[in-house]
């Protein structure tokens, strides 16, 4: 299933040190604006490369990815939608 393949790929790119830094940067402590957000520790350029690989992901899978607890997985899903929108004709948009 492509959903699990994408999750596995993104998890393989994770970096605990970057994740820890992201938690501080995005203010995820109790009472802060990003409270509860979780991070895998993947830099945006790596996510964009992954979007190129999975740019034809179905809307159903993309919607499921948008429900993730992880910031980077949700970002991946949004960037897939942006990629698909930019390549779509007026009817598909």
- Asked whether the whole model's pTM tops 0.75, one would answer yes
The Cα 63–Cα 54 span in angstroms is 14
Rounded to an integer, the average pLDDT of 4-31 is 88
2-86: CATH topology is 1.25.10
Q: Where are the domains of the chain?
A: 2-86
Tell me how many degrees the CA angle 79-18-62 measures, rounded to the nearest 5.
25
pLDDT per position as a tens digit, 42-80: 999 999 999 999 999 999 999 999 999 999 999 999 999
């Amino acid at each position: 299933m492509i959903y699990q393949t994408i999750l596995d790929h993104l998890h393989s790119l994770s970096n605990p040190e970057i994740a820890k830094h992201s938690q501080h940067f995005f203010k995820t402590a109790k009472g802060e604006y990003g409270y509860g957000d979780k991070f895998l520790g993947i830099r945006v350029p790596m996510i964009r490369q992954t979007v190129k690989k999975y740019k034809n992901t179905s809307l159903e899978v993309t919607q499921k990815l948008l429900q993730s607890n992880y910031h980077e997985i949700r970002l991946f899903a949004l960037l897939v939608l942006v990629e698909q929108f930019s390549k779509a004709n007026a009817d598909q948009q």
